[in-house]
Each structure stands twice: as C-alpha cells, then as structure tokens.
Chains A and B, each alone.
Chain A
Amino acid sequence: MKKIFLLFIISLSFFKIYAQADFDVAAFADTLKYNWTNTETRYAFRENLEFKKSLLKKYENETLSISLNIGKSMIMPGWGHMHTEDYLRGQILLSTEILLAGTSYFLYDKSMEKYDKYKKADQIDVLNQYYSEANTAYKQATMAFSLFALVWVYNVYDTYIVTEQYNDHLWVKNIQKELDKKITVTPLGISVKF
C-alpha cells in the first residue's frame, strides 16, 4: 500500500517537472490574460485589491474556525450550526440526536431487562419469549444507535459545509457593509466617500 502511494507521488512530481519543461513563457507573461485591457482596468483591479486588503484583518477576527466548529459539533451536535447562526438546523440536529440517543438507550435498557429475565427464566416457553423480546429490542436499539451515528456524521459534515458557507457569506457581508459606509443616502442626495 505504501509503495503504491510513493509511486503515485513520484509520478505526480514527474508530471510537474514535465509540465515545467514544456512551459509557455509567452502565454504565462501575457499581459492581457487578466483582461486588463487598459490602464484604467488595471488600476481598478489594484484599487479593488487594496480595498479587499483593508478588510482582511476584520475578516480574520470574525471568521469561524472550521476545525473548531467541527469539534464543537462533534461534542454536541448542532453547536457548530448555532455558531454559524443557523439556529433552526442546529436545534433540529440536536433534538434528533437526543431523541435517537434516548431511544437507543431506552431500547438497549429494555433488551437488557428482557435479557436478565431470559437468564432467570426456567421454562422453555418463557425462555423463548424473553429471548425473542430481548433480541428484538437489541436490534431496535442498534438501529437507533446507527441512525444516531449517521446523523452525527451528517452533523459533522454539514458543520463543515455550513461554516464554510458562513465564512464565504461573512466576506461578502463585510464588503457590502464597507461599501454601505462609503455610500450614504441623505435627503440632499447620495454621497460617496472615497
């Protein structure tokens, strides 16, 4: 397995080297490749980048760490969602997990109770009945737990997606907020601050 992995990596490196050897300098240094067709568009890009640069720090302070959020959701399903302000989904996931965990525990407890009765039974009919009941309850508990685990995994995965979306949206929101600050609507008209 390790050998296959190493072989894969080496072939990838060769691919890169080959790619370097066949490098098209003209295309790489094509001044029109970013559609800066004139000075104004080029300067506009630079200004836009400067504007975005000014928002980096704020974003970094406000952004949610995906790993931390996933960790939170692993400990308590829906916690990460709540951090992303997606309260409804967080609550649904949390209540579903509580329900499934409770159901699982209840059924497991029931199966253990039947199982104890089964161990204490001395008649074949009673013995069979308790065994069957203990087995059914155990299967149901296992199913409930599996479902719990599945929802938990989904919760973790979804936390990743939701946090990423939150961060993406946060960036857009910050930009919009900054633009709104620059454009103020007054009774006398619209003023734009530069």
Chain B
Amino acid sequence: MISISMQKKIKYLVFSFLLIATACTNKYQSANVFYKAENYTVAIEEYDKVINKSANGYEVTLSEIDRSESYFQLGMRAFERNNYNLAIRLFYLANSDKADEKIIDSYLILIDDLKTKDERNRVIATYNYLIDNLYRSERTPLLIFERICLIYEWYQNEEKVWEDYSMLYEKYPESEYLPQAQEIVDNFLPKWIEALVAKKNSPDVDLDEIISSMVYLKTIPNNYHENISKEIALIYIQMAEELIKKQEYVTAEKQFRRALEYDIDQAVYVQKRLNYVCDMFVSEGNDLIKQKLIDEAIVSFNRSFQIIPDYQKAIDGIARAESRRLMIARSLELKNEGIQLERKKKYKEALAIYQQAYNLDNTPELSKLIFEVSNTIEIDKDPRSFALKILNEHNNGAIVKRINSLRAELKEEWKDKLKDSGWRPIGSGTRNTMEIRYDFITPEENYFLSWQVNMKDKKIIPLNKLTEKLFGK
C-alpha cells in the first residue's frame, strides 16, 4: 500500500532518528570505558570533562567517585614503584580516606629515610604537615605522639611538647598514646610548677596570671594535680592576706573560699583568718557604738555576715548596738525631763533624773548638768559656807595656804599691830555668786583682798589688782 516515495521518506526519518540517538551518547559512559580498561590517566581527563560540563549531577557524582578511584589506582602504581612523591600527589588528588592513609604511609617511609640522614627539621616539618592536613586520620594521635617523642628527644622543647600533649588530650581524649605522652610531660612538669611558685613572691607579679597558668596545667592529665592545687590554694591565701592589709575584707573572703576549693587542708587556717576578719568588723562596730554611730556600727557588724553568716559576735554586737540606741534615746528623754524639773526648781529630783540619764549615756553634757544641779542644791542649802568651801578647796587650798603664809609674814613684821579681818563672805547681786573678802591692816600698808566665787560652776575670779597680783588670775 505504501508508495516507494513514502518508503524513502520513512527511511530518512529512521536514519535521522539514529543520528540523533548517536549524538546523544553518554559522556560519562565513554569515560567509564577508559576506567574499566584501567586507562586511568585518560579516564581522569574524561571524567574532568564530564564534571566540568555535564548538567547531570548524578553523572558528575559518578565521575567524581570514579576519578577519585582512578587517582588512587595511579597513586598505588607510583607507590609500588617507590615513587612516593608522585604517589603522595596522586593520593592527595584521590581525596578519600583510604588515599589519605596511603599518603601517611608514603610520608612515614620518607620520614624513615630522613631520619637515617639525620635531617631532623625536615622530619618534624613532615609530621607537622601530616598532623595539620590529615587530622581526620585515625593515625593522627600516633603521629602527634611520635612528634612529642622526637621533639623531646632532639630539641628538649618542653613548651612544644606540652602544646602537642594538650592537643592530643583535647582532640583525642581516649587515645591509647595519652598515658605514654603523659610520662614524658611528667618529667618536666615539677620544674614548671616550681618556676611558677618562685614567681609568686616577685614584686609586681600578677598572681592571677600565675593561677591561670597553674589552672591550665591542671586541665590536662598529669601526676601533679594535687601539688598544683595546693600551690594554687597558697596563692589565693597570699592574695587574701594582701587584701586584708588593704582592708578589702569581702574580696579577701572570696579569695579564701577559692583557696579552699583547691585545698581543703587549708580549712582550719582559712577559718581562723575569716574569724579574724569578722572580728575586725566587730571591733570596728564596737568603736562606732562608742562614738554613738549606731547605724554605721550595725552596717559594720552586718559586713561580717558576708564572710561568716550568723557570726555570733556580730549578732551580739548588733544586739548591743540596738540596746545602746535605746539607752541613748532614753537618756535623752531623761535629760529633757531633768531640765524641766530644774526649771521648776526641783533640783534634787532633777539630779536623780540626770544621774539616771548619765548612767544610761555618760555624756559630758549630762556630767555638766549633774555638776551644776548639785552645786545649785548646795547654794540653796547654805551659800556662804558653800562659797567658803569652794574657796578652801580651790586649787588644793592654794588661796588659803597663800593667805596663811602672808599672815605669818605680816605677823612677824608687825606683831600685834596687825589687824586680820578673817574670811568674810558677802552676798553679791546674783544668786549664784558670792564675794569673799580678807583684809590685813598694818600701820604702813593695807591688804584688801577680794574674790568672786561662782558657786554654780565653782569658778573663782580675783576682784582687784592686789588680789590678782598676789594670787594670780
């Protein structure tokens, strides 16, 4: 039924379809042909093309996997021919875990060679490269340990050994090489601790820095943790003592507590020192009570609670302070009451009240009030006798002694011609003052001596120049 021309057309169509199908040949598959034929070099180039050009992620991934394997196989060939430098590069390009292990194998062979040539720096540099760049390998702890051994043996570089040991512990805490590395570290650690301890007594040293260094030493396993702790505790105690000197007691207490965190054996000493600090607060509080600074005293007592909660001496101190506050307040009340009584001329009652107030709060003001009111009572009783008594007692009887001496001198000179008036109290214009006179009359010279006695405050004033000249002011 189909005509010849139609058949030709169909043939063209089929041919065209085949042509399209040929053009669509998978590039990955063509690369894979070389891979299967173990022509890895060409395969890698073809895979590179697929990876760079293909839009199909699946093909790209397959190409990357096969390319990695191709590099690995090429690396193995180089490794078997002892061409380690080329093998390392090819394994590097393979970029797989097993290739990394082969890189390490290659480098270890090269390291053995370098060791025989005694090229120590290059050996260490090689280890450095392996540890820094292939840190995901299971053999990295071994490599670190080997580097530790070599650095300690060849260079005695303890800092570097410690650095490596720290890294080994931080990154591979379960590593079997850790105890072996610790043995090396334990060799030089006592020397380090000793050096740090020696530093603590140097002037201008930063003790915090020393503690940080010691704490850092403690973070990594070693056999000297207990020694380090004890030394840290001693440094904290030293810091606390310095703070006590500066009267920074609360901070000092913190340092003491820190010391205990590191060494519980210091508990007795620390407790003694804390008690001392608390006693300082209590003592300060007591002084403030004496100065009647009750609120300040309570603050001081309370400060001791920051150091020792419920410190009994401070509790007692606060009770004393409160009691003192009440006594002062009561004394003030009594004083005011006494003043009122005094105004009402009830001097005896006022004296009793003042004495009560004085017993509660012995202020100079109350003392003066008692003195004055006692004198007032005496004035009321017999002012003349009281005035003479004051004069007789004045300055341990100095006036009376001088009068007696003057009388003796004049008597000797004038015998019976001397006229002696004796003591003559004369009331003055005010209630509390009294004038006392004493006259010596001789044929040639007369002595008219006169004093004013203030009976309230027991003060004596000479009333003329002769009295002042002979008896002083």
The reply to whether chain A is a binding partner of chain B is yes
Interface residues of A, Cβ cutoff 8 Å to B? 16, 20, 23, 25, 28-31, 33-34, 36, 39, 42-43, 45-46, 49, 52-53, 55-56, 59-60, 63, 66, 142, 145-146, 149, 153, 156-157, 160, 164, 167-168, 171-172, 175
Contact A34 B58 (CB under 8 A): no
Check B68 for interface membership: any CB of A closer than 8 A: yes
Of B84-92, B272-280, B343-351, B393-401, the one contacting chain A is B84-92
Q: Assess whether B68 is in contact with A56, with CB atoms less than 8 Å apart.
A: no
Within 8 A of A (CB), among B52-101: 55-58, 61-62, 64-65, 68, 86, 89-90, 92-93, 95-96
Asked whether B4 is an interface residue with its Cβ less than 8 Å from the other chain, the reply is no
B363 within 8 A of A: no
Please name the residue on chain B nearest to A157 by beta carbon. B20
Residues of B within 8 A of A28 (CB): 41, 44
CB pair A153–B57 under 8 Å, yes or no, is: no
Q: Are B57 and A168 in contact (CB-based, < 8 A)?
A: yes
Residues of chain B whose beta carbon lies under 8 Å from any beta carbon of chain A: 6, 9-10, 13, 16-17, 20, 24, 41-42, 44, 55-58, 61-62, 64-65, 68, 86, 89-90, 92-93, 95-96, 132-136
Q: Is the interface of A mostly helix, strand, loop or mixed?
A: helix
CB-CB under 8 A for A149 and B61, given A36-B95, A39-B133, A160-B20: no
Report whether A52 and B57 are in contact in the complex, using a CB–CB cutoff of 8 Å.
yes
Of B10, B17, B57, B136, the contact of A172 (CB 8 Å cutoff): B57
Q: Smallest distance from the beta carbon of A172 to chain B beta carbons, Å?
A: 6
Tell whether, in the assembled complex, residue A39 and residue B61 are in contact, meaning their CB atoms are under 8 Å apart.
Answer: no
Residues of B within 8 A of A23 (CB): 41
13 CB-based A-B contacts, threshold 8 Å = A25-B86, A28-B44, A29-B89, A31-B93, A42-B92, A45-B95, A46-B96, A56-B62, A60-B58, A149-B13, A153-B13, A156-B17, A172-B57
Q: Which residues of B contact A33 (CB under 8 A)?
A: 93
Measured in the bound complex, the distance between the Cα atoms of B54 and A164 in whole Å is 11
Q: How many A-B residue pairs have CB under 8 A?
A: 73
The closest CB in chain A to the CB of B57 belongs to A171
Name the distance in Å between A162's Cβ and chain B's nearest Cβ: 13
B13 close to A63 (CB less than 8 A): no
Which chain A residues border B132 with CB–CB below 8 Å?
Answer: 39
A63 and B17 within 8 A (CB): no
**Nearest neighbor of B26 in chain A, beta-carbon distance:** A66
A167 and B58 form a contact (CB under 8 A): yes
Q: How far is the CA of A153 from the CA of B55 in the complex (A)?
A: 24
**Closest beta carbon of chain A to B438's beta carbon, Å:** 107
Q: Which of A46, A153, A168 contacts B17 (CB 8 A)?
A: A153
Within the complex, the shortest CB–CB distance from B243 to chain A, in Å, comes to 44
